[in-house]
Amino acid sequence: MFNHYESSTRKPLILGKKTLKNITDDIFNPIKNKAGNLWWISFFISILAFLWGLGCIFYTIGTGIGVWGLNRTINWAWDITNFVWWVGIGHAGTLISAVLLLFRQKWRLSINRSAEAMTIFAVIQAGLFPIIHMGRPWNAHWVLPIPNQFGTLWPNFNSPLLWDVFAISTYFSVSTVFWFMGLIPDFAMIRDRISDPFQKKIYSILSFGWGGTSKDWQRFEELSLILAGLCTPLVFSVHTIVSFDFSTSVIKGWHSTIFPPYFVAGAIFSGFAMVQTLLGVARKVLSLESYITRNHIEYMNMIILLTGGIVLLAYISEFILAWYSGNAFEKFIYFSVEAAKGPFWWAFWSLIICNIIIPQFLWIKSVRRSFFWSYVIAIIINIGMWFERFDIIVLNLSHDYLPSSWTGFIPSFVDVGIFIGTIGLFFILYLLYIRTFPVISQSELKTILKTDYNKK
């Protein structure tokens, strides 16, 4: 057999002397073997969280969104914060897959499948919030341009909220298709290995009869490349459009032209942080230490540093422009002196600490290459990015143009419950996914080995 060859000029992407057979086994074993205790404990906790959230959703729908902590002034708060946060998390998956594919970055191969799955599961959570926030979710289909019993009743295509519907649903469906198409050869690998007849049947259906003929591969590569080309502008468009929800409004602190690039950078920042979080778990639970290496962690941290830098630049611009405008109301926007010392000071400073100060430790090489510290910083960034969305939404709404309507916001247990429920559902989906689907794109990963032993 061939020994694994690594170029001396490039850091190795796969550790150990792996062969093609080893890669197949390493990806197939977590599916074939029974789940460990750690998996069952995580699954049980996720189920509990999800059930709490589900109860809160039923309570909301049965009673009305008055059970949330909203009020006349702050009529969006926790829910839309969660929506934007989840959409942001959904960004890194397609970015890793599509943009890094176009840039021929081979390091994406060990992590892209998990990241794509994360995208899909995160967008599912995101989609729940606007639907519940409608108050009458059974009428959610009214946002689609379909003939209805009211005659000439169409959705308003001028509205950024409707742009969201199209952006998120297109992003979700295209990302799912991108993910599934890439999975077909890997499903075929499982189909050809698995012995249980029921599972064999399921994977036979999922693999679509894939055989890996030369023409199939040729078309597959073309398809992947075009889908990547289509997904790349989609990644940028989705969060741009989410930012339009705010920037096309007349609320002070929101009507900002910097929002689209700032939101996209923030989404990639938080998305990569979530990929770090999930891969930290998958690496240990599925014994993928040879494939998810320090180099992968470091490369992702570099992107986190870059996008974090863009986000910091946006924060500075927001602060300076609010001050420079001389507008009395702009003084109360989420990035202002008043925000830092006002009633939401804790949210403001959480944002500063989690998103600006802590990530700077990634400039230190030993921290950037440390699994433990990367994991800790990634979780802190996740929290910080949630606070960023909370600050943008709640702080700006709390001080509107009419001082008599200035008010605060206290989330109810239902607000908190639904959020925790979505985290539970997200982890349920992810845990089920790592047990049943190949977490690493084994067929693509094998191309790195191929290149290596060609040089022998």
Partner 1 sequence: MNIHALYNNDTYLIKSIKIIHSHNYEIYEVYSPFPIHNLTQVLKLKKTNLSFFSFIYGLLGLCIACALTWYTMIWDWPQNIGGKPSFSWIKNLPSFIPVIFEFSIYFSAHFMCITYLIQCRLFPGRIPKNPDPRTTDNMFLIEIHTKKNAEKLIDLLKKNGAIEIMIKKY
Write out the residues near partner 1 by the rule CB under 8 A: 1-2, 19-21, 24, 145, 152-160, 162-163, 166-167, 170, 173-174, 177-178, 181, 184-185, 188-189, 191-193, 204-223, 226-227, 230-231, 233-234, 237, 241, 244, 443-444, 446-447, 450, 453-454
- DSSP letter at 362 equals G
Closest CA to 407 of 73, 53, 52, 136: 73
CA atoms of 232 and 271, how far apart (whole Å): 15
Q: Which is nearer to partner 1, 36 or 211 (CB)?
A: 211
Would you say 187 or 334 has its CB closer to partner 1?
187
Beta carbon nearer to partner 1, 177 or 305? 177
CA-closest candidate to residue 262, choices 365, 355, 171, 183? 355
Residue closer to partner 1 by CB (options 208, 363) is 208
Best CA proximity match to 389, nearest among 163, 126, 152, 110:
126
Q: Shortest distance, CB of residue 208 to partner 1, whole angstroms? A: 4
Helix (H, G, I), strand (E, B) or coil at 428: helix
Pick from 246, 365, 245, 292: which is nearest to 27 by CA?
292
Least distance from C-beta 134 to partner 1, angstroms? 19
Shortest Å, Cβ 305 to partner 1: 30
Angle, helices 371-390 vs 78-89, to 10°: value is 140
Neighbours of 148 (CB within 10 A): 12
- Name the amino acid, one letter, at 319: F
Q: What is the smallest separation between the CB atom of 115 and partner 1, expressed in angstroms?
A: 18
CB of 13 to partner 1, least distance (A): 15
- Cβ at position 285, least distance to partner 1 in Å: 24
Start-end of H helices in 331-412: 337-341, 345-351, 365-368, 371-390, 396-398
Closer Cβ to partner 1, 4 or 446, answer by number: 446
Nearer to partner 1, 209 or 403 (CB): 209
Considering the complex, what minimum distance in angstroms separates the CB of residue 58 from partner 1?
A: 32
Cβ proximity to partner 1: between 37 and 195 the closer is 195
CB 292 within 8 A of CB 110: yes
Residue 391: how many other CB atoms lie within 10 Å: 22
- Which one, 77 or 109, has the nearer CB to partner 1? 109
Longest alpha-carbon distance in the chain: 78
Closer Cβ to partner 1, 153 or 328, answer by number: 153
Torsion (CA) 365, 367, 369, 372 in degrees, nearest 10: 170
CA distance 226 to 232: 10
Report, in Å, the least distance between residue 396 CB and partner 1: 20
Virtual CA dihedral for 304, 310, 312, 315, nearest 10 degrees?
-140
Helix ranges restricted to H, 91-158: 91-94, 100-102, 112-133
Closer to partner 1 at the Cβ: 176 or 405? 176
Which residues have CB under 8 Å from 320's CB, separation 6+? none
Give the torsion sign (CA, 184, 190, 195, 198).
negative
Q: How far is the CB of 184 from partner 1 (least distance, A)?
A: 7
Nearest approach in angstroms of CB 306 to partner 1 is 26
